[in-house]
Chains A and B, each alone.
Chain A
Amino acid sequence: MLKIKNLRAEIEGKEILKGINLEINAGEVHAIMGPNGSGKSTLASIIAGRDIYTITEGCIEFEGKNLLDLSVEDRSRAGIFLAFQYPVEIPGVSITNFMRAAVDEHRKFQGLETLTASQFLKLMKEKKELVEMEAKLEGRAVNEGFSGGEKKKNEVFQMAMLDPKLKILDETDSGLDIDALRIVADGVNKLKTTKNASLVITHYQRLLDYIVPDVVHVLYNGKIVKTGTKELAMELEERGYDWIKKDNYTLID
């Protein structure tokens, strides 16, 4: 589904990604772990289409298409979804209007008829229940005045509404208490099928107790330095990141 080949990217002349190789197939859950500043969120942003980074080398293919040629909105319509680490507040835009516009665009792209008002509201209701989102939130402006937990639930809710092929969760666990974490993770798990895939970016192993990965990668200093199974995540939890850093100094030396 997703193939990243030798991806190098920089911001303001500073290289952040230094040759990433990653392949994710349908039905798989991949986790990317790594210390702060290793380039995890940059990778997520680049896949979603954030234009503040310059790609200097490499390519990203999504279902055989060159992803880097697509606009941000076309990537979303093609089936990529980024759950933001820090969801943006958009004063004045209600969640209902926002989702209505997004779902319409997705359906148009897929050559489907747009939903009627009642079909749409039914879909909203169904997906809200998935993340135990309170009804009062839908009339409110997107993320405005939401708590950390509400913002993350809202991300998973939008994910459920748009039913993406590739779900990228960027530090979705940050700022969540254990109950909210469980609800958010349950939501993500319920959306899992053999046809879609997930890329879970996290600093801590905690989230991976709930969303169990098939493959775990360790990103350090702009490169994937280790790939393994979920046991790798356990090891990182126990030993921290220092041994990775040390090993890599040895590699560089």
Chain B
Amino acid sequence: MSAITSTVMTLADLQPGDFGTVERIMCLGPVQQRLLELGMSPGVDLEVIRTAPLGDPMEVYVRGFHLTLRRNEARCVILK
């Protein structure tokens, strides 16, 4: 595990029932834009609802709706 992943908290680190606040979206390009459009913009609060039976993807409650995303994308969401 690299130094970055161990010091920065991302959405992928949260467990069902955990809350978090978005600080920024780390990855660039379409993934960043899609996450932003779907409401994962800086300062927004979110809650992890559950993970799928095989551990991936995860379901998140954000801006009044439920969004599912893979851990791969969740790792882009840096939390405060």
- Verify that A and B bind, or say they do not: no
Using CB atoms and an 8 Å cutoff, list the residues of chain A in contact with chain B.
none
B residues neighboring A (CB under 8 Å): none
